Amino acid sequence: MPRNASGVYSLPAGNPVTPGTTIEASWANSTLEDVANELTNSLSRTGAGGMTAPFRVADGTVSAPGFAYTNETNTGLYRAGSGSVFMSVLGVNTVQFSTTGLTVPAGKAFSVVGNATVGGTFAVTGAITATGGVLGNVTAASGTSTFHNLLVTGSVTFSAAQTFDASKLTGTVALVNGGTGAATASNARTNLGLAIGTDVQANLVSGTNIKTVNGTSLMGSGNITISGTAAGGSNTQVQFNNGGSFDGSANLTFDGTNLTTNGAIFATGSITAHYSDDRLKTRLGKIESALDKVCALEGFYFQANELAQSMGYEVRKEVGLSAQAAQRVLPEVVTSAPINDQYLTIWYERVVPLLVEAIKELRAEINALRG
């Protein structure tokens, strides 16, 4: 007779036999036939034959899987719960199979030695390392993904939190996919319809002017520095600071109002400053006693003393006036020295009106003597 629903086998009726029972064909043949059928329906340890119905095993646990190996009893498959089967290796969960798909537990790696084909979405919350190609679309929303020799036939999308090292990119990305469709800067400009000098600033060459994009100003969010090498090998630098000031390596500064330098200013053309138009002036009177004031001044030769030398002035023979003497007779031509506001200097061009009036007074005296 066959096994019951629990798989328990029972001998046919009349078994077991009692001592002294005569073996008869009708009884022995049916019993042996039943035993032969059950042996045939049992699995062979040598692998002969196979199951003709579903094979059922105990659920098991992670340390003793229901389906395990003789030489490694803590490696195999076990049922953890409804719709959840784990692969345990040496008593450690490595892969979960459930109604939602395949899951690799935290701390375990999913490695593909050959090719992997994903028909739907392959979601990874950690890092992806691909040493071959990815055929299809790639979307990186979180984590860090490393691709070596990556071939993407679809699109590549990175979230704002992702970074992309373009220096590792070879090949081209089509314009429709957000690229330039070119492998060189020259071809990229051509594909994008950009012309050097019109849409793109050309490289600056010594002796050429700086041309801005809008033709009006050179703008930047930080400091703008222009550097180079002057004759003799000394480095020079001009910097336009973000705060509106201007600095030069030769102590040339501009604070938004005043341009200051500790060196000389050379100009092959004219230097135009201030104003002389009568329409802009309210006259306050003539310069009186101009000749006496001129006579109070003394022109002399001089050279920089030790104090002036300590401020950077060179020792050479020069001519000039005393600022203190000029201040006593015509203070309007005296101002603070640029080297230090504790010292004085003269606006020599403003001495001209005094000389004009002095000459006129001298002429009047001469005319009076002649008269």
pLDDT digits (tens, 9 = 90+) for 190-246: 888 888 766 666 665 544 445 554 444 455 555 566 555 554 455 555 665 656 565
Q: Residues 11-27: pLDDT tens digits?
A: 777 777 778 777 777 77
Percent residues over pLDDT 70 in the chain: 66
The SS3 assignment for 103 reads: strand
Residue 127, pLDDT score = 64
User: What is the pTM for the complete model shown?
Assistant: 0.39
- Convert the pLDDT of each residue in 264-307 to its tens digit: 778 888 888 888 999 999 999 999 999 999 999 999 999 999 99
pLDDT digits (tens, 9 = 90+) for 20-50: 777 777 777 877 878 887 777 777 666 676 7
- Please name the helix (run of DSSP H) or strand (run of DSSP E) that holds residue 174, with its range, or none: none
More confident of the two residues 152 and 204 = 152
| Distance, CA of 274 to CA of 19 (rounded, Å) | 144
User: How many CB atoms sit inside 10 A of residue 304's CB?
Assistant: 15
For residues 53-74, average pLDDT: 89
Please state, rounded to an integer, the average pLDDT across all residues of the chain.
78
How confident is the model at residue 298, as a pLDDT? 96
> In what helix (H) or strand (E) does residue 72 lie, and over which residues does it extend?
strand 72-81
By the 10 Å C-beta count (0-12 exposed, 13-18 middle, 19+ buried), 35 is classed as middle
Encode pLDDT of 156-176 as tens digits.
666 555 566 666 666 676 766
Mean pLDDT lowest among 103-107, 205-209, 329-333 = 205-209
CA 347 distance to own-chain centroid: 53
Say how far apart CA 194 and CA 238 lie, in whole Å. 30
Rounded mean pLDDT, 67-85: 92
Note the pLDDT tens digit of each residue in 114-149. 777 777 777 666 666 666 666 666 666 655 666 655
DSSP state, 278? G
Which pLDDT score, from 0 to 100, does residue 245 have?
60
Q: What is the DSSP letter of 12?
A: P
pLDDT for residue 221: 52
- pLDDT of residue 308 exceeding 90: yes
